[in-house]
Amino acid sequence: MRILSKDKSHFRGTHKGALIEIEREKDGRFYIIVRWKDGGIMYDGWAPDHVRRMKDAKREAVSGACLDETKSVPAA
């Protein structure tokens, strides 16, 4: 994951060609937006309530946008 900008309540970076933006609200919840290179939205919404750290919000963004999936080759 490449970091473009970050602070306590904000993260912006890229991962596998996608732009990830995360905002921590005052109540501790995270809002995540993941956009693909072409501008298509891959994830746009609140992280689950159990996500309480920025580190976990990044993991949620990657898994929620299916950026952690590996390409599989169909069986012949």
pLDDT-based confidence at residue 69 (cuts at 50, 70, 90): confident
Query: Does residue 74 surpass a pLDDT of 80?
Result: no
Q: Which of 50, 32, 49 lies closest to 41, judged by CA?
A: 32
DSSP state of 38: T
Looking at every residue in the chain, the average pLDDT score rounds to 92
Q: What is the pLDDT of residues 47-67, one digit of tens each?
A: 999 999 999 999 999 999 999
Q: Under a CB-based contact definition with an 8 Å cutoff, are residues 29 and 15 in contact?
A: no
